[in-house]
C-alpha cells in the first residue's frame, strides 16, 4: 500500500503513539522531582539555610554553599567551638582551677594509700616468713624422738662404727642446716628458759646454780626453744 505524507509519521513507535494519544486526550505523564536534601553523588546539602532552589536543587555558585559546607564539617566546627564547663573538665581528670588546698588534700590521699600498700606488703611478707618457719619447726619437732633414739644408741655403743652411725651423723648434720641446735652443755649456769631441773644436788665451790649433768638433750631453732633440756643442777652449799 503506498504511503502518503511524511515518512517519519509512519515510523512512529507504539510508545510515542501512546504518548501522542494521551496528550491529545488531555493526559500528561507524572513529573518526578528529586527532593532529597543531600546529593547522593557529591554528599553535599541541596537545601542549605537561606532558601530552596526550584526543583529541589540548590543553585550552584551561591553564597550559602560556601558558608555552610557539608554536614560533617559543620558538626566538627560546632563541636570544636563548644566550651566544656570547669566541673566537667575536673570530672574528666583535668585539674581546671584547682586550689592549693585541694592539691594538698589529693597529695595526702596518695601518700596515705602508698603507706597502706607498703604496710600490706610488709604484713604479707611477714606472714609468709612465719608460715615457713612454723612448717620447719613442725618437721623438727616430729624428728626429736628419732634424735633421742640416736643418742640412746650412741650411749650404749651401738653407733660407734658402721653404716647406721654414718646415717645418724648425716641426719644430724642435715637438721643443723635448718637451724636445729642441741642443748647439752654441762658446767654452765642453770637457765630456766632452756633447762628443766629434775634433780638438785649440793655442790662445792659454786656461787650460782650450775648444770652438772644432762639427762636428756634439749633443742632450739633460732630463738625458739623446741624442748628444754632435762638436767641435774648443782646448787651452792
In the block, which residue shows the cell 558558608?
A: 67
Q: C-alpha distances in angstroms, 48 versus 57, 73, 80?
A: 10, 13, 21
Average pLDDT for residues 15-24, to the nearest whole number? 54
More confident residue, 68 or 113: 113
- pLDDT given at position 65: 47
Q: Confidence class of residue 209 from pLDDT cuts 50, 70 and 90?
A: very high
- Supply the pLDDT for residue 52: 44
Q: What is the pTM of this model?
A: 0.49
Query: Over the range 125-154, which residues count as b (16 or more CB within 10 Å of their CB) and which as e?
Result: eeeeeeeeeeeebeebeeeeeebeebbeee
What is the radius of gyration, based on Cα positions, of the chain? 54
Average pLDDT over residues 154-169: 87
Query: In this predicted structure, what is the pLDDT of residue 66?
Result: 47
Give CA–CA dist 98/90, Å, rounded: 9
Long-range CB contacts (within 8 A, 24+) of 36-40: 38/71
Round to whole Å and give the CA distance between 29 and 34: 16
Confidence at 60, pLDDT banded by 50, 70, 90: very low
Answer with the residue of higher pLDDT: 97 or 136: 136
Amino acid at each position: 500500500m503506498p504511503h502518503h505524507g511524511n515518512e517519519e509519521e509512519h515510523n512512529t513507535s507504539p510508545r510515542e503513539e501512546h504518548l501522542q494519544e494521551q496528550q491529545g486526550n488531555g493526559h500528561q505523564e507524572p513529573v518526578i522531582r528529586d527532593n532529597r536534601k543531600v546529593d547522593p553523588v557529591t554528599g553535599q546539602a541541596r537545601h542549605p539555610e537561606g532558601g530552596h532552589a526550584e526543583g529541589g536543587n540548590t543553585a550552584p555558585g551561591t553564597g550559602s554553599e560556601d558558608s555552610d559546607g557539608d554536614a560533617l564539617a559543620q558538626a566538627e566546627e560546632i563541636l570544636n567551638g563548644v566550651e566544656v564547663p570547669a566541673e566537667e573538665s575536673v570530672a574528666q581528670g583535668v585539674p581546671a582551677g584547682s586550689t592549693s588546698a585541694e592539691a594538698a588534700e589529693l597529695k595526702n590521699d596518695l601518700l596515705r594509700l602508698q603507706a597502706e600498700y607498703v604496710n600490706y606488703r610488709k604484713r604479707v611478707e611477714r606472714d609468709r616468713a612465719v608460715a615457713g618457719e612454723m612448717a620447719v619447726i613442725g618437721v623438727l619437732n616430729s624428728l626429736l624422738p628419732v634424735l633421742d633414739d640416736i643418742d640412746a644408741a650412741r650411749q650404749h655403743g651401738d653407733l660407734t662404727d658402721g653404716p647406721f652411725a654414718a646415717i645418724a651423723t648425716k641426719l644430724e648434720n642435715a637438721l643443723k642446716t635448718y637451724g636445729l641446735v642441741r642443748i647439752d652443755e654441762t658446767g654452765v649456769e642453770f637457765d630456766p628458759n632452756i633447762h628443766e631441773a629434775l634433780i638438785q644436788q649440793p655442790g662445792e665451790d659454786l656461787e650460782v646454780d650450775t648444770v652438772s649433768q644432762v639427762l636428756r638433750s634439749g633443742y632450739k631453732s633460732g630463738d625458739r626453744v623446741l624442748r628444754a633440756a632435762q638436767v641435774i643442777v648443782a646448787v651452792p652449799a
